[in-house]
């Protein structure tokens, strides 16, 4: 059970809804933990009380999160973009309607149109008059309208991929990660309805109480964690004449720190924070450009 709270406590503590299970559950908790949040979990494993900061977690079903945000039960939520945009089963209009605050970079997938492998495909117009099965009727209807297609949307809560074999649909619209499930059911994807990933969602209107400061602090830490997650610190030495060539190979890095090595006039030490991958091929290119003593270090934390 969620502990009873007074209106003052609700205003003073920030509550975040996340998945209680599934592929987004552990990455969401790991991301928040990387922001320095620690919780004490309730015996029923549905509520986590924040110990380091007044930020609590509510562990729920993924498709309940948009409704909980709209009702004000939770202040923020980590949820798939597809679930957020599909919205609650009973839409709640008004300022509490949630919007996407930050993409979080995990749980990536696509909501796609798929047809039988042997069917021809040219463009969306050929779906006119067809039955399309999906568990995302709102998103599908919006996509059909954008493409000027009139088709019947068949809403299913699960097993969308077998709708063609059951004779319930002529095409489907379903989430696709690797595409293996579609292939196993003799289907092929033909159009992207939505690129999805885990996102931080919150109200369109800012918080007017203590939760606003907590939300700002959380966003700062989230941005820092996300920024360094794929970042690497590259360190090397090089002759001064080689510097222009090295900088061209580090075009994705922040402005490097360049210092003269003690006791020399022509040797430089270079430190660069790289946002992309720093693989072996890139190191070889840097070495050929004149870099020596190359080291690549992970970045644990960074606060702007």
Residue 1 lies in a domain: no
Residue 13 lies in a domain: yes
**Same-domain check for residues 102 and 218:** yes
**Same-domain check for residues 100 and 135:** no
- Checking phi first, is residue 242 left (phi over 0); if not, alpha (psi -120 to 50) or beta? alpha
Total number of domains constituting the chain: 3
**Same-domain check for residues 128 and 151:** yes
Residue 152 lies in a domain: yes
Judge if pTM exceeds 0.75: yes
**Same-domain check for residues 187 and 116:** yes
Angle subtended at Cα 76 by Cα 70 and Cα 81, rounded to the nearest 5 degrees:
80
**Domain span holding position 42:** 7-106+198-228
**Same-domain check for residues 78 and 113:** no
**Same-domain check for residues 28 and 87:** yes
Q: Residue 285 is part of a domain; what is its CATH number?
A: 3.30.70.120
Round to whole Å and give the CA distance between 99 and 105: 17
Residue 58 lies in a domain: yes
**Same-domain check for residues 11 and 99:** yes
Residue 304 lies in a domain: no
**Same-domain check for residues 161 and 31:** no
For the segment 215-244, what is each residue's pLDDT rounded down to a tens digit?
999 999 998 888 887 788 999 999 999 999
For the segment 49-69, what is each residue's pLDDT rounded down to a tens digit?
999 999 999 999 998 999 999
**Same-domain check for residues 21 and 159:** no
For the segment 112-129, what is each residue's pLDDT rounded down to a tens digit?
999 999 999 999 999 999
Residue 2 lies in a domain: no
Q: How far is the CA of 294 from the CAs of 269, 274, 288, 298, in angstroms?
A: 10, 13, 12, 14
**Same-domain check for residues 122 and 250:** no
Residue 19 lies in a domain: yes
Q: Tokens in use for 153?
A: 């949307």
Residue 48 lies in a domain: yes
Return the residue matching tokens 């995302």.
136
For the segment 267-279, what is each residue's pLDDT rounded down to a tens digit?
999 999 987 778 8
**Same-domain check for residues 20 and 101:** yes
| Residue of 58, 71, 8 lying closest to 28 (CA atoms) | 58
Helix (H) or strand (E) holding 219: helix 210-229
For residues 86 and 139, is the Cβ–Cβ distance under 8 A?
yes
**Same-domain check for residues 40 and 62:** yes
Q: Residue 96 is part of a domain; what is its CATH number?
A: 3.40.190.10
């Amino acid at each position: 059970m969620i502990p009873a709270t007074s209106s003052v406590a609700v205003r003073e503590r920030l509550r975040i809804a996340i998945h209680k299970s599934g592929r987004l559950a552990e990455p969401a908790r790991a991301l928040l933990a990387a922001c320095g949040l620690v919780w004490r979990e309730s015996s029923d494993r549905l509520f986590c009380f924040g110990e380091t900061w007044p930020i609590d977690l509510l562990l729920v079903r993924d498709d309940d999160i948009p409704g909980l945000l709209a009702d004000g039960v939770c202040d923020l939520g980590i949820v798939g973009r597809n679930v957020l945009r599909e919205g609650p089963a009973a839409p709640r209009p008004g300022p509490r309607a949630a919007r996407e605050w930050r993409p979080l970079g995990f749980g990536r997938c696509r909501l796609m149109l798929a047809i039988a492998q042997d069917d021809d495909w040219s463009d969306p117009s050929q779906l006119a008059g067809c039955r399309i099965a999906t568990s995302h009727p709102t998103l599908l209807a919006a996509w059909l309208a954008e493409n000027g297609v009139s088709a019947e949307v068949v809403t299913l809560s699960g097993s969308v991929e077998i709708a063609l074999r059951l004779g319930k649909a002529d095409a489907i619209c379903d989430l696709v990660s690797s595409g293996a499930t579609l292939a196993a059911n003799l289907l092929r994807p033909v159009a992207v309805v939505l690129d999805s990933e885990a996102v931080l969602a919150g109200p369109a209107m800012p918080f007017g109480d203590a939760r606003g400061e907590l939300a700002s602090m959380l966003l700062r830490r989230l941005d820092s964690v996300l920024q360094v997650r794929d970042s690497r610190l590259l360190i090397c030495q090089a002759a001064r004449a080689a510097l222009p060539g090295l900088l061209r190979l580090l075009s994705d890095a922040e402005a490097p720190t360049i210092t003269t090595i003690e006791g020399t006039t022509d040797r430089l030490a270079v430190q660069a924070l790289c946002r992309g991958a720093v693989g072996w091929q890139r190191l070889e290119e840097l070495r050929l450009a004149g870099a020596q003593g190359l080291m690549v270090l992970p970045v644990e934390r960074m606060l702007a």
